[in-house]
Amino acid sequence: GDARMAIIGATAFFYAAGYRWVVFTGVTRLRNAFVRLGMSPQQLIEADQRRLPPGDAEQWGSYYDGDPVVCFGSIQDGHDNLQELWAALRDTWAAGEIAGEKMSRIRKYT
């Protein structure tokens, strides 16, 4: 959940700031968070622990066990996708409130 909230906030920020592209290195869990939001970042290359300077690998702990991959994506596409998701959530929320209010009125008379 936290990763998705960070992705939503970052997308809004980068879009409003006028950025067009994002590049990031993400482990499987982070990449899956994008997918759960309906986004599809493009994968460039796997991050390779062997490319680290000698002696630095141990400082990264188990990070490389998470299968990190360098990815990129269009900020505009992400923004548009999240706008559609937000509209669907708003509609679902409103329908739930309306149904709840109706149930509340019915319960008063039963």
Q: Looking at the predicted structure, is the pLDDT value of residue 99 above 80? A: yes
Confidence of residue 109 (pLDDT cuts 50, 70, 90): confident
Q: Looking at the predicted structure, is the pLDDT value of residue 35 above 80? A: yes
Query: Half-sphere exposure of 103 toward its Cβ, with a 13 Å CA cutoff?
Result: 6
Per-residue pLDDT tens digits for 69-98:
999 999 999 999 999 999 988 888 888 999
Site of tokens 């309906």: 38
Query: In the sheet where 21-26 sits, what is the strand order?
Result: 21-26, 69-74, 42-46
- Is the whole model's pTM more than 0.85, yes or no? no
**Cα–Cα dist 8/34, whole Å:** 9
